[in-house]
Amino acid sequence: MGRTLPVAATANRAKAEDRESRFQKLVEDERERIVAMAYHLVGGDREAAKDVAQEAFLKAYQALPGFREEASLRTWLIRIVINQASKYRRSQALRSRLGIIQSWFSSKDNVEPAAPGPLPDRQVQEAATRARIGAALEKLSSGQRSVFALVHLEGMTVEETAAVLKKSPGTIKSHLHRALIRLRRDLADLDPGRKDE
């Protein structure tokens, strides 16, 4: 006859397994979305986005036992990645200010690294445009940037975004409006409403 575990140990093992399987499912379901959100929020640096996303999942794993399900797991995880992205940006800003050159995350540049040999003009231009958009997004306030990323780059509704950011739909719309005004100024050549002189 085999030994049976004490009830408490069995319950703890079941809890640990439940946490593991919940977390595994969360990663599989949300990995791509979270990396994409991090990408939008850290200025288009793909490697930094993966780092930030992993930190977000790590924090979620650590906090999962205490998750009280007041919001959905996805909403909760998106909040975590927004916070992690903010932390990353603050760290980058400090490094730049202090003149620290070697960076924990990969290159400061948001332009993709060049392939061997000269790139076709089109790719160079696309990379330059992405860099300009990244720079314009960086100039938005933190609230405007998050709202623009969630609504226009990730396709969330105003109501979903309001739930994630714990703000009213009216505030979300206001952020969107101001973000568009600012982006039009910085990306005038992409603006179809611009009157050419």
Partner 1 sequence: MSNREDLEFVGRIQKAWGRPELSAAEAARFDRALRERMNGRARNRWGLAAALAATAAVIALVVLVPGHDKTAREGVSLVEVLGQAQEIAYGNGLSWEPTASVNETASNVWPNDYDPDAALNTLLSDEYQALAFLVSPPEI
What is the torsional sign of CA 101, 102, 104, 107? positive
How far CA 26 is from CA of 32, 79, 88, 98, in Å, comes to: 11, 14, 22, 37
- Retrieve residue 53's tokens: 């996303």
Q: Is 116 in the site for partner 1 (CB under 8 A)?
A: no
- Identify the DSSP state of 2: -
Pick the closer one to partner 1 by CB: 46 or 74: 46
Pick the closer one to partner 1 by CB: 6 or 155: 155
Q: Is 39 in the site for partner 1 (CB under 8 A)?
A: yes
CB of 3 to partner 1, least distance (A): 27
Which of the residues 130 through 159 are near partner 1 (CB under 8 A)?
130, 133-134, 152-153
- Identify the DSSP state of 88: H
DSSP H stretches of helix in the chain:
7-41, 46-63, 73-98, 121-139, 142-148, 158-165, 169-186
Q: Is 76 in the site for partner 1 (CB under 8 A)?
A: no
Stretch that binds partner 1, among 8-16, 34-42, 72-80, 164-172 (CB under 8 A): 34-42
Query: Cα separation of 6 and 136, whole Å?
Result: 59
Residue 164's nearest CA partner among 31, 52, 28, 175 is 175
Q: Is 190 in the site for partner 1 (CB under 8 A)?
A: yes
Among 9, 16, 58, 114, binds partner 1 (CB under 8 A): 58
Q: Is 29 in the site for partner 1 (CB under 8 A)?
A: no
CB of 46 to partner 1, least distance (A): 6
Q: Is 66 in the site for partner 1 (CB under 8 A)?
A: no
The pairs formed by 127-130 with CB atoms below 8 angstroms and a separation of 24 or more are 129/190, 130/44
Stretch that binds partner 1, among 6-14, 35-43, 71-79, 138-146 (CB under 8 A): 35-43
Three-state SS for 110? coil
Which spans of this chain sit near partner 1 (rule: CB under 8 A)? 27, 31-32, 35-36, 39-40, 44, 46, 49-50, 53-55, 57-59, 61-62, 87, 90-91, 94, 97-100, 102, 104, 126, 129-130, 133-134, 152-153, 180, 183-184, 187, 190-193
